Amino acid sequence: MKSKLLVVLIGIMVLLAGCSSNKADENVVENNAGYTVEEKVNEHIVETPIEEPAEEVAEETSTTEIAKNKPAPDFTLKNLAGEDVSLSDYRGKFVLINFWATWCGFCDMEMPDLQMLDDENDDLVVLAVDVMEDKATVEKYINEGGYTFEVLLDEEGDIAKTYLVSGFPTSYFIDPDGILLGGVPGMMTYDQMNQIMDRIR
């Protein structure tokens, strides 16, 4: 009886989860349930350092190390218009890099809030980095949603690997000097995004 109850509880936890970066794996990467806005801001932006890959792993995979309060790894990706866009193009502004995919339900719920944040903050740019999907799929989704923030295509998933993304959505905040301020795994609400922006400005 106890084992059956445990199985049911585990099933419920999985249902409450965010989207895995492996489409076939629907397991929990980071569950937002239980986070208050203050805890989310404090743990992921202010206090918790971003994990750095072990030296031997970094050497084997040639992955650029990322660390809080260090320069964010620069990258260049194509946008939906086929133009090259680099993170460094946005020096002088805060940047919210949001790693996502069209099939991710939590990403879908977060998109309108990202759009509002992008529209209402002149000192901020949202870079929505779609991971490992083709341009036609992403373009259809963006057009149907009426989203106007910058969308970039990480078709091979290399940038997501560099930023140690293990689930969607995952967001990183970069300051106007290109310094990585921290990251938030999982979906954010509009209010949470604004509270984080207020703290890092």
What is the pLDDT at residue 22? Answer: 52
Q: E strands of 45-165, at which residues? A: 76-79, 84-86, 94-100, 124-131, 150-154
Condensed to tens digits (0 to 9), the pLDDT of residues 111-169 reads 999 999 999 999 999 999 999 999 999 999 999 999 999 999 999 999 999 999 999 99
pLDDT cut 90: percent of the chain above it:
67
* CATH number belonging to the domain at 2-200, selected among 3.40.30.10, 3.40.50.300, 3.40.50.150, 1.10.3720.10: 3.40.30.10
What is the pLDDT at residue 65? Answer: 78
Neighbouring residues of 201: CB distance < 8 A, sequence distance ≥ 6: 94, 123
Please tell me the pTM assigned to this model. Answer: 0.74
